[in-house]
Amino acid sequence: MKLRRDIFQAIADPTRRSILILLASQTMTAGAIANNFDVARPTISKHIQILNECDLIEANQQGREIHYQIKIDKMKEIDKWLEQLRTIWENRFDQLDNLLNTLKNK
């Protein structure tokens, strides 16, 4: 069994984030994805491979073409992690607001 890469490693790269944005609206072939970038197709293929290894996208064979689509459930894992951070920071800001209000009212 092949070990999966970390999903945060995948989204750390701006090109891979752009690929995910493209796939959020529609399924696309590797060629169609590559047409959106000014880099060599093998470079895009490597990015697609990493996204696939991270389980953020899936490949579906349709005739001779492979169509890629985003896996929303895996993206929800990223959102859940971000929500945890958001909650921590919102609590800290609330505490700071309370402290500032207390100091202001003295």
One domain, residues 38 and 65: yes
- Of 83, 90, 88, 22, the residue nearest 56 (C-alpha): 22
- CA-derived radius of gyration, the chain: 20
Do 1 and 23 fall into the same domain?
A: yes
Same domain, 81 and 53: no
Based on the domain organization, do 48 and 99 belong to the same domain? Answer: no
Same domain, yes or no: 3 and 35: yes
Which residue range forms the structural domain that includes residue 22?
1-70
Q: What is the domain count for the chain?
A: 2
Q: Are residues 64 and 30 in the same domain?
A: yes
Do 84 and 54 share a structural domain?
no
Q: Which residue has the tokens 């459930």?
A: 73
| Residue 72 CB coordination number (10 Å) | 10
State pLDDT tens for residues 6-58.
888 899 999 999 999 999 999 999 999 999 999 999 999 999 999 999 999 99
What residues have CB less than 8 Å from 68, skipping those under 6 apart? Answer: 23, 27, 28, 29, 30, 33, 48, 51, 52, 57, 58, 59, 60
pLDDT bin (cut points 50, 70, 90) of residue 5 is confident
CA distance 92 to 15: 33
- The reported pTM is 0.77
Say if residue 63 is in the same domain as residue 24. yes
Average pLDDT, the chain: 91
Do 62 and 76 lie in one domain? The reply is no
